[in-house]
Structure 1
């Protein structure tokens, strides 16, 4: 039987705590995890270290943005399903609002300042993706089997582009991981937080996740609804993103730019802009939904895209948490996830080449700009938001 719902004041408390994170958590997904630990383990003491580590392992196991899912899981432990929703809204709201606003403002900014500042966003974004690729390869593509899977996926996806090829590559990664990799189960924490959701609610969430994934594309076609088509694309992307927020780039680029819903330069400039914001990288969906030209755009399209891309994560966190203790004890399941993670490294490598470098490199000197941005990120260790703003301002001033 499900636990009794917590008081409404607990959900309000969760919302205000995560809204603060949404305004202040700069630095990308890895930094978000550190912010959450400091806020909710050390300062507020909502979780023990063991419970935090257990939820973090769950969120790395699931597809979707790990930091946002961790926020949902923390909110759910504190205030049930209402707490999970409150954590997501609070953490996402500032960046999502800013990205929808950017979709409205970008055309006017381009007319006033020229297109050079957009080029700076693209250069900085390429360097950010390169840094993310190296970081992910060090953890997800270690050893000859996983490195070979990553290289094979990268080569294959450079040749065979498109969302179907990406989905097949992810599925193949899971199968190869299931057959070839046996990841040891993590040591169970001494005291993991009890789930706030019972098995019946969890199974309902998992069923809804599967039904939406299977039926949204058919419903959009049958009803000839551009809005449902937009929701279908973003829901499918949110359900298939393994490895962190940066992997949303190649999946959405194939779906959105490949369908000519948005031109590549605008797409990449929006991805560059989201690097300068606090909160989740998935907020980029707000820009794409608002700026695309097929379904209703503006704030309506932005809202549809934001809800659709995060909904799979919400359903999976609610659905898997009560069963996590049993799942994490199965090395085969963890092997499949490891295989998918290795393929995701190749997916991101292919995206680094096309569209990132192909979009950012317009002249030979641009290679030096990308290298300089990478040095600022990795050697000088400047935060991504500062590098993005600096390169947009510099190119806007000197390359007009």
Structure 2
């Protein structure tokens, strides 16, 4: 629903309950992985509610691509922090995360038939909708952020670099684009700059960063020095959230090494949970809740799910709170703006690459899939239907294709 914030250039502070409900709807309907989530967020917070302008949103995305952890969840945390302070950040995380975390926890606790109850065609339909969501995001961001030949060239180069076998990480691509921006683009002060309403004091930010590194160093020492299984879980899942770059899928090999090799979770259960994680909306990091509930030793069940879920997301909270105030100062600097112009173009390129792989390659398997993707794209861009309704339509359409195929 539209809010009064749509009618003001400077966003007003929102209560945590409002932020929670907005993110809860996204948490219930945002299928397709982290790149698709960024598309849903852009549609909701830039296009519909106007909580952020296009440049501010792109800057947040660029920042969270630099940070380790789940980029889409961190963007959500940052938006909640900007609009509602610490409570808003927690509300945004809870709304976006709890639906999939609860579903995966219930699956781990014994509802083994839940995954098989959903036809494969429905899951394919959800992947097809993700194609339309990401395509809309690429088009909208490119129109705003790739406005001249150099920026278009940077976007295409970034897309090509991550798709071709150059073994460049996304962080390296973004950093290189920033350096190119400093060299190629002249610092200007004519572009509009909307200040982000960061309500975090410098001391609080430094404290959050100090706590992030302290936990990263102390938890392994505490876990190795004792036989406490709770400390071992906290250590394993905190490190997973603190050290993984590239989003949810990248964390899976690390989690497998942490929980399967010691025998905490058997391999078949791990793979079953990973399959179920593809069928639920929201962040893939909620796979941690499934693993926590599936532990062969205490803590397990609901307590294990809660411990692992919180532990894997705590680094994201600390990093967003610790870095955002300094990021706001940097992005208002003229030379930083020149670098960000190139970085934002590179982000568009990375999104374009992701539109092809994995979004397109996993979603479009037949001509009828392409037709359904076109219909979903038209529903989003021209008929202006809400994303959640397009998600339902895509699931139904995918199910019908599965029945007739």
After TM superposition, is the score higher than 0.5?
yes
User: What is the aligned partner in structure 2 of residue 90 from structure 1?
Assistant: 91
User: What is the aligned partner in structure 2 of residue 102 from structure 1?
Assistant: 103
User: What is the aligned partner in structure 1 of residue 264 from structure 2?
Assistant: none
Q: Does 1:346 find its partner at 2:358?
A: no
Does the 8 A contact of 2:132 with 2:373 survive in 1?
A: yes
Residue 316 to residue 24, structure 1, CA distance change in 2 (3 Å) = same
Residues 107-142 of structure 1: CA distance to partner in whole angstroms, max 9, x if unpaired? 634312332211111111121111111112122222
| Structural mapping, 1:251-290, within 5 Å | 251-256=247-252, 269-270=279-280, 273-274=281-282, 284-290=283-289
**In 2, Cα distance between the equivalents of 1:54 and 1:138?**
12
Does the 8 A contact of 1:113 with 1:396 survive in 2?
A: no
Residue 352 to residue 327, structure 1, CA distance change in 2 (3 Å) = closer
**In 2, Cα distance between the equivalents of 1:177 and 1:20?**
39
2:326 to 295, 304, 320: 320
Gaps of 5+ in 2: 1-13, 30-39, 65-70, 226-230, 257-269, 296-303
TM-score, normalised to structure 2, is: 0.66
User: What is the aligned partner in structure 1 of residue 145 from structure 2?
Assistant: 140
User: What is the aligned partner in structure 2 of residue 153 from structure 1?
Assistant: 158
Q: What is the CA distance between 1:338 and its match in structure 2?
A: 2.2
Residue 125 to residue 313, structure 1, CA distance change in 2 (3 Å) = same
**In 2, Cα distance between the equivalents of 1:182 and 1:382?**
40
Does the 8 A contact of 1:208 with 1:315 survive in 2?
A: no
Residues 341-374 of structure 1: CA distance to partner in whole angstroms, max 9, x if unpaired? 1111111111111111111122232222222211
Q: What is the CA distance between 1:216 and its match in structure 2?
A: 10
Q: How many positions carry a matched residue from both structures? A: 338
**In 2, Cα distance between the equivalents of 1:217 and 1:166?**
28
**In 1, Cα distance between the equivalents of 2:308 and 2:173?**
29
User: What is the aligned partner in structure 2 of residue 278 from structure 1?
Assistant: none
Does the 8 A contact of 2:187 with 2:338 survive in 1?
A: yes
Range that drifts further, 137-146 or 258-267:
258-267
**In 2, Cα distance between the equivalents of 1:341 and 1:192?**
17
Q: Does 1:307 find its partner at 2:307?
A: no
**Cα RMSD (Å):** 4.4
Gaps of 5+ in 1: 1-12, 39-48, 76-83, 241-249, 275-283
Residue 141 to residue 134, structure 1, CA distance change in 2 (3 Å) = same
Does the 8 A contact of 1:286 with 1:303 survive in 2?
A: no
**In 1, Cα distance between the equivalents of 2:166 and 2:114?**
32
Residues 61-82 of structure 1: CA distance to partner in whole angstroms, max 9, x if unpaired? 843655642431343xxxxxxx
Q: Does 1:115 find its partner at 2:120?
A: yes
Q: What is the CA distance between 1:152 and its match in structure 2?
A: 0.8
Q: Does 1:167 find its partner at 2:199?
A: no
Does the 8 A contact of 1:235 with 1:310 survive in 2?
A: no
Does the 8 A contact of 1:219 with 1:228 survive in 2?
A: no
Does the 8 A contact of 2:132 with 2:376 survive in 1?
A: yes
User: What is the aligned partner in structure 2 of residue 42 from structure 1?
Assistant: none
TM-score, normalised to structure 1, is: 0.67
Does the 8 A contact of 1:213 with 1:236 survive in 2?
A: no
